[in-house]
Amino acid sequence: MKNDLREAAAKARLRAYAPYSGFLVGAALRLKSGTVVSGCNVENVSYGLTMCAERVCVGKAIDQGEKAFQALAIVADTDTPVVPCGACRQVLAEFAPKLVITSWTLTGESKEFSLNDLFPLPNLGIPQVPRGT
């Protein structure tokens, strides 16, 4: 179960568009429906517009009509597992403030985090307007 998510993230990593940093990241999000969506980082010549692998997963899930997230895996080539950046924590918290995140190195070292610990006070109190058609 956990391994399929890791494998999907590892495969996505190889599709990363990271010509500026050379740092390839893959992520995979398990939706409550059981579907897995993957994502890779997508860099830009205007560096700040880079999309992390984690946020690419969120966009894909929403476009598939799914907002219920169960688990996220991240794979990168580092000595210790990476943790999601602040922007990704904010975006993930919109949908799953207690998401379980497992981050892996290429050699198989892993660390598990709860988004709740990484981003403890998400601003979820803003009223949402009824959905338009």
Residues forming the active site: 54
Least distance CB 130 / ligand THU (angstroms): 34
Least distance CB 73 / ligand THU (angstroms): 12
**Residues between 12 and 51 with contacts to ligand THU, criterion CB under 6 A:** 18, 21, 23, 25, 41, 43, 50
Q: Which is nearer to ligand THU, 28 or 53 (CB)?
A: 53
Task: Please name the amino acid found at residue 29.
Answer: L
Least distance CB 123 / ligand THU (angstroms): 21
Least distance CB 52 / ligand THU (angstroms): 3
82 touches ligand THU by CB under 6 A: yes
Q: Name the nearest CA neighbour of 99 among 64, 68, 63.
A: 68
61 touches ligand THU by CB under 6 A: no
Q: Name the nearest CA neighbour of 39 among 23, 52, 21, 27.
A: 27
93 touches ligand THU by CB under 6 A: no
Give 7-15's long-range contacts (Cβ < 8 A, gap of 24+).
8/36, 8/38, 8/73, 9/38, 9/53, 9/73, 9/74, 9/75, 9/104, 10/75, 10/104, 10/106, 11/38, 12/38, 12/39, 12/40, 12/53, 12/75, 13/40, 13/53, 13/75, 13/76, 14/40, 15/40
Contacting ligand THU (CB under 6 A), which of 29, 31, 37, 53? 53
Give residues in contact with ligand THU (CB under 6 A): 18, 21, 23, 25, 41, 43, 50, 52-54, 74, 82, 84-85
